[in-house]
Amino acid sequence: MIDVDDLLDLVRAYNPQTDADLIREAYSFGLAAHKGQFRKSGEPYFSHPIEVAALLAEVKLDDATIITALLHDTIEDTGATYKEIDTKFGDEIAQLVDGVTKLTNLELSSVETAQAENFRKLLLAMSKDVRVLLVKLADRLHNMRTIKSMPGDKQRKKAHETMEIYAPLAGRVGMQYIRDELEDLCFAVLNPDARNSIMRRFITLRAETGNLIPVIIEDIGKALARHDVLAQVTGREKRPYSIWRKMEETGQGFHRLSDIYGFRIITKNERDAYIALGAVHQRWKAIPGRFKDYISQPKTNGYRSIQTTVSGRDAKRVEVQIRTHEMHIVAESGVAAHWAYRDGERFKNPFAVDPFHWLRGLIDGFENAENPNEYLEHVKLEMFQDQVFCFTPKGAVINLPRGATPIDFAYAIHTRIGDSCVGAKIDGKRVPLWTRLRNGQSVEIIRADSQRPQPSWEDMVVTGRAKSAIRRSLRDEHKAGHIRLGAEIARVALGKIGKKATDKALSTAAKNMGLGSKDDLLAQIGTTQVTGNDLAMALYPELLKKSEVKGEKPAAEVVGLKEGQSHIPAKCCKPLPGERIVGIIARGRGVVVHTIDCDALEAYEGEPDNWIDLRWTEGMSTATHNTTIEIIMANDAGVLGRICTLIGEHNANIADIHFTDRKPDFYRIMVDMQVRNATHMMHIRTAIEADADIASVIRYRNPKNNR
């Protein structure tokens, strides 16, 4: 276990003015608080906070962060309180320790909805001070380094959470070395066989070719010397997870991968960086499409570097990064560079991003998501992807994730531009909207005010901002359609009892039913969550009851009844004028009229005395009769609206609509409507069936509903 003097030596190396007494006090406080506690490995528990503090000292963080690392588990795991830490170490440190405690208590690996909501809380907890996240990342790195002492199921759970959340988050804040190590440690837990296979390939490669790294470093050094560039050159083999991810992306085996080495050139100034680039490209062949200049176009987390890949010794591909010393600090430390020291003094790195501004912008950009799952998707899409840089026609730079399309580009400029996008030009040439953008392209968006986002766009875009805007627009458009349909159903429902669906009436009904507004009511009627009868009952219950009683009498005359006999239509088959009918005497209800082919009649085969031969009166009638049709329709925008329009055009009224089956591609619906006769109903069926988005239309009968 590192003792306090060793820790102080690490801190004094970059900050001779450190408050050694306060760090000693924090060390003693944490040691006492965790006394008697042990890790799963059997080590004293306090060895963990010390290692976390040492990791943060490696990136030259300030005293407050080092002390927070020493105390980060005290509130959660010991009897120490926030007030006690506030009294002993001050408000700044108390708030940092409390922030880390809140992050630790978030169970990010739970079910998706909880995970999304907790991620929102994680970002909010970070929003006050990014140092909370830096401590948590160091805490997670040490835990992953020592994860083998945990049970297997907990190892996998922790590794999944780290791979999903903390590793990408480390990359997003610019701490790439932490991201790389976290990913590789998770890889060893989640897919040990694959990692071991890659390690064996590395051993075989070294045996065959020797250690190429010092040889290539020497080659690069000679190339730089010829151009009088003094620089520090380092090299390494890429981590197994990085190799595995490359194999998965390209579908190639290890033996076909050549860019498994990475080299870094750190120069004194920016001018030398570009000279070094020229020297490397002059010495070796550059690989097309593998050059990125993040010095002229830095990433949003402050990362600046020139990245190129060249064909080196024996045609081995070599990835080279070139940057200045200040850029290197930011590339290694990310937002932590904001607290960096030089010669014992805090100094302002010209390339460091203000962490508070960065985090505020990150959170503000996610406020359009309307549910936790969308929010989590948005966060992952925005945070965890490599970037491409494209230009507007006026030369403004738009940063987008890899794989972005012109639609993403349009929404990145403004939601209004995205919503009205109808086409795009890349470098002056018209291209499809699904085209993937590349670095340095100039993109022009073609707009039309009448355009609206299409459902297919959601599969084309990769940015969370675009996905959220498209979903929101589609929801609004669908809601408008539901409102229109609901208004028609409301008009018919109230018209049946002699009332009008005025704004005042609908607003009153919405209030009575506990809905926010008349539009909310109409939308629910349009989606069948509320029926037309529900609306009428909310406004005119007495009138509705009278109408129902009156409705038991037939709308047209039936021939064959004895004097004094009443009749009602059977609910199972809902007979219509023009169909052959038969009556069944039902005690207490008069005569129930069925169509001659109604399946429910089988139940009365043993009761011949209760059968009556009936027929409709001849001639035209303006009375309407209830019937139901079953429709299977494509799940596309506008289909339901067209069905309702067709029914209306045939002078029939829709009484109600029920969704009985909802699938991703098709809906099954029941439409209750009022028609004049069987011929009228058949004309409507034929018109609906002619629509290309209709799979089938049948007359619905329910033999179980035979009373």
Residue 538 CB neighbours (<10 A): 19
Copy the structure tokens of residue 245: 């991810």
- Are 382 and 465 in contact, with CB atoms under 8 Å apart? yes
- Are 348 and 75 in contact, with CB atoms under 8 Å apart? no
**Residue 356: closest CA among 136, 172, 137, 128:** 128
237 is known as an active-site residue: no
Catalytic one of 43, 76, 534, 630? 76
Q: What is the C-alpha to C-alpha distance for residues 531 and 521, in angstroms, rounded to an integer? A: 10
- Are 283 and 223 in contact, with CB atoms under 8 Å apart? yes
Q: What is the C-alpha to C-alpha distance for residues 478 and 488, in angstroms, rounded to an integer? A: 16
- Are 307 and 319 in contact, with CB atoms under 8 Å apart? yes
Q: What is the C-alpha to C-alpha distance for residues 160 and 144, in angstroms, rounded to an integer? A: 11
Catalytic one of 43, 58, 77, 237? 77
Q: Which helix (H) or strand (E) holds 477?
A: helix 464-495
Q: What is the C-alpha to C-alpha distance for residues 600 and 606, in angstroms, rounded to an integer? A: 13
**Interior CA angle at 384 toward 334 and 401, to 5°?**
105
**Residue 24: closest CA among 32, 13, 34:** 32
Residue 649 CB neighbours (<10 A): 10
Q: What is the C-alpha to C-alpha distance for residues 69 and 578, in angstroms, rounded to an integer? A: 86
- Are 93 and 64 in contact, with CB atoms under 8 Å apart? yes
Rounded-to-10 torsion of CA 175, 178, 179, 185: 180
**Interior CA angle at 653 toward 665 and 695, to 5°?**
25
- Are 1 and 8 in contact, with CB atoms under 8 Å apart? no
- Are 659 and 668 in contact, with CB atoms under 8 Å apart? yes
Copy the structure tokens of residue 524: 């629910």
User: HSE-up of 266 (CA within 13 Å, CB side)?
Assistant: 12
Q: What are phi and psi of 687, to 5 degrees?
A: -65, -40
Using the Cα atoms of residue 178, residue 234, residue 302 and residue 259 in order, give the sign of their dihedral.
Answer: negative
Copy the structure tokens of residue 310: 């060249």
272 is known as an active-site residue: no
- Provide the β-strand partners of residue 625: 675
Q: Which residues are catalytic?
A: 76-77
